[in-house]
Amino acid sequence: MNMQVNPSTNRDLVLTRLFDAPAEKLFRAWTEPKLIKQWFAPRPWSVSGARTDPRPGGSTLVVMRDPEGNDHSSEGVYLEVVPNRKIVFTDAYTSDWAPSDKPFMTVILSFEEEPDGKTKYTALARHWTAEDREAHETMGFHEGWERCTDQLAELLQTL
């Protein structure tokens, strides 16, 4: 697994990983609420709710629950959806293109087919400011996204 700060912008955090699964399974894991609930939050956190409408302009909502039982919602809008290839979403808007209180990032996910049924997965978190990127790192981006990606790999083996 490769995680890095993108030095060209100073606002990007990038995670890449080669999965032993076809792109279709990764796409499903990112777009089907019942699957999102199984991997999206780093344990011991959990996902208490998920809603998706994976099409440009469709909304997404993931509610993560911390170990103390507090819910943390993340709402956004899909900007681009190419089945089994690419998903782009942002928290700059909520449903119906209503501006969010505090835009934080846009996420660009790509799924590249590799030989032998494997998929190169890239998750790019592009933040509005370098300060937002730094805050995301401080919140535990590297550790949290790495654990979630491990959980995603576990789930993919069951699909």
Residues 141-150 pLDDT 10s: 889 999 999 9
Q: Domain count of the chain?
A: 1
Domain of 80, CATH number, reads: 3.30.530.20
- The pLDDT value recorded for residue 63 is 98
Q: In the predicted model, is pLDDT for residue 5 greater than 60?
A: no
Confidence band for 1, pLDDT divided at 50, 70 and 90: low
Going through the chain in order, the beta strands assigned E by DSSP cover: 2-6, 12-19, 46-52, 59-65, 71-82, 86-90, 105-113, 119-127
Mean pLDDT of the chain: 93
Supply the range of the domain harboring residue 104: 2-156
